[in-house]
Structure 1
Amino acid sequence: MTTPRPIVRPARVLALSLAAGTLLATAACSGADSGASSGSETASTVAERGVAARTASPSPSSDLTGTGARNALITPEDIEDDWTQVENPQEWRDSLPVGSVDVAQFVNGQSDASECRRLVDALYDETLLGRPTGASALTGFQEGDSRLLYQVAAYDKPDLDDSMEWLKSLPDTCDQFTLTGGGSGDRTVQVIGLKLPDSGDFRQGLTVTVKGESNGAPVTLTLDVAAVQIGADAITVTNGGLDGAGHDTTSTAVEQGAERLEDVLAGRTPQPTPSGID
């Protein structure tokens, strides 16, 4: 009579897998210093992380629609002073004449640090937080030699989280660097943190100063850069010019814009003129 082959139960398979994981983890940690965790502790941590990854709920996706993104854009009434809305702010990425300086060309160049180059590349395009994966809308305003670019967009949530962390790191990683090439010679770039209103889930502000020469004359371009995250959606603001950056305007755009986006996401219609602004 033939003896039946034993059946390998799932629990036994799991035990064998964990045992193998323990051996691999122990081997990987054999060269660690004396303060490192033991192999069994590392295996336990790896197993716990694996369970957490499988049981974690998916990242929330955006419910923002194209109409909602357009409704969430700020208007001239949302920001103080004499800002005029422009028709095609998308063209600023290629050419942005301000006085005798083409600002778009002035910030075009190379940097040894890829993280810093990424910031410079994104100053006047629509990729400060990466490429939107859902609805997006863009508007722009000008006042004298200052320009304000404003965007509302939906993103992949994990990528958006990473982009916000990247912005947060820039005052340390890109506090000062040199921009070369692009036809404007060497320019010195400085990045410092900028305090923003307590809006949205997360927020990060920067003030970016670019110093160099254009047409043989010294030029200083100062820009506020701000981003506010609400779930998988975000607003971004780039504001400033050759006469400096109006921090109050940046703060107003952030505060009013975040309120408009929150209204849209809650199914409400934003008010055309926010209270407190004449």
Structure 2
Amino acid sequence: MTSLTSLITSLNEAIRPRGVRLSLTAAGLVIVGGCAAFGLGQPETAPQPLPTIDRPTPSRKAPARPDGSVLTDAQAQAALITQGDLGAPWTATRGAATWRDGLLKATTSAGDCQRLLDALYSDELLGGPARVAIGMDDADTDAQLRYQIGARRPADVDAALAWLKTMPDRCARFTATTQTGTEEDVKVSDASLPEVGDARQGLRVSISATTSDDQEDLLTLEVAVVRVGQDAFALTNGGLGDVPNDATQVAVQDGALRLADIRRQGRAQV
């Protein structure tokens, strides 16, 4: 601004008649410069909106259960097998079979084998009570099948499976004693299962005993535990004499497929 004033002064001295006009021009420049310096007289601009950031819509979370299952109680119930899966002569159970107390309720000194007897008697092969269960009887052979969906975390189920896998070696054959003092000869072996689910283990347990009146008893149990994702099911198919293996195979196959289907429906609804 000082340099501009000096220039105008020099011009005024050189050309006097135009002094007023030049002074006014200089004043105008000064005013304009001043307005520019203080931001006055400038055209107003419309405020620019701040940019927005799209936030992802939070997804609904599955109901939290201690066992990690995404199934509701109704879905767990729907995942059970039914009499229709097994067909005739299977019907709704009439209650616990007499051989459960008579032969399964026994004690042994053979280490880990007591745990197996206890799990078979209490029907807790998954290491805890069932979440939902169904029992069916074969009226022709008096066999009894019990199918349950557990309420256990996958890690707990895998631990139970790992333990069951050791039974054919650790408890291949041992003796036990019933509450009435009857001696039992117990044999445990592997049992093949359909290739379903994420992990599985099958056992075949036979218990033979001679009662005080020289009656020969033979109890056969087919056992299966299968994990399907976060959920798992277990079944026992037992009876005096032999038991229908086809019922075990169908129950495992259909049970795994139904549980997987119900799980997919559960994920689609969350």
Query: Normalised by the size of structure 1, how large is the TM-score?
Result: 0.67
* Secondary structure, aligned partner of 1:226: strand
* Secondary structure, aligned partner of 1:123: helix
Other-structure match for 1:213: 210
* Secondary structure, aligned partner of 2:116: helix
Q: How does 1:181-260 map to 2 (within 5 A)?
A: 181-214=178-211, 216=213, 217-260=215-258
* Secondary structure, aligned partner of 2:112: helix
Deviating more after overlay: 115-124 vs 200-209: 115-124
User: 2: CA distance between counterparts of 1:75 and 1:181?
Assistant: 33
Q: Which has the larger radius of gyration?
A: 2
Other-structure match for 1:138: 133
User: 2: CA distance between counterparts of 1:245 and 1:256?
Assistant: 19
Other-structure match for 2:175: 178
Matched, 1:66 2:66: no
User: 2: CA distance between counterparts of 1:259 and 1:146?
Assistant: 24
Structure 1 residue 215: Cα displacement: 5.6
User: 1: CA distance between counterparts of 2:115 and 2:231?
Assistant: 21
Number of residue pairs matched?
Answer: 198
Query: Normalised by the size of structure 2, how large is the TM-score?
Result: 0.68
Runs of 4+ aligned residues of structure 1 deviating over 3 Å after TM superposition are none
Identity between Structure 1 and Structure 2 (%): 38
User: 2: CA distance between counterparts of 1:136 and 1:60?
Assistant: 10
Structure 1 residue 243: Cα displacement: 2.6
Structure 1 residue 126: Cα displacement: 3.4
Code of the aligned partner of 1:169:
T
Other-structure match for 1:48: none
* Secondary structure, aligned partner of 1:106: helix
Partner residue of 2:108 out of 108, 111, 126: 111
Structure 1 residue 169: Cα displacement: 0.9
User: 2: CA distance between counterparts of 1:124 and 1:84?
Assistant: 22
The question of whether the paired residues in 2 share the 8 Å contact of 1:184 and 1:212 is answered with no
Coordinate RMSD, CA, aligned = 2.0
User: 2: CA distance between counterparts of 1:232 and 1:62?
Assistant: 6
The question of whether the paired residues in 2 share the 8 Å contact of 1:201 and 1:230 is answered with yes
Other-structure match for 1:151: 148
User: 1: CA distance between counterparts of 2:113 and 2:243?
Assistant: 20
Write out per-residue CA displacement over residues 86-129 of structure 1, whole angstroms, 9 at most, x where no aligned residue. 26x5xx3xxx22xxxx4322111111134211111122433111
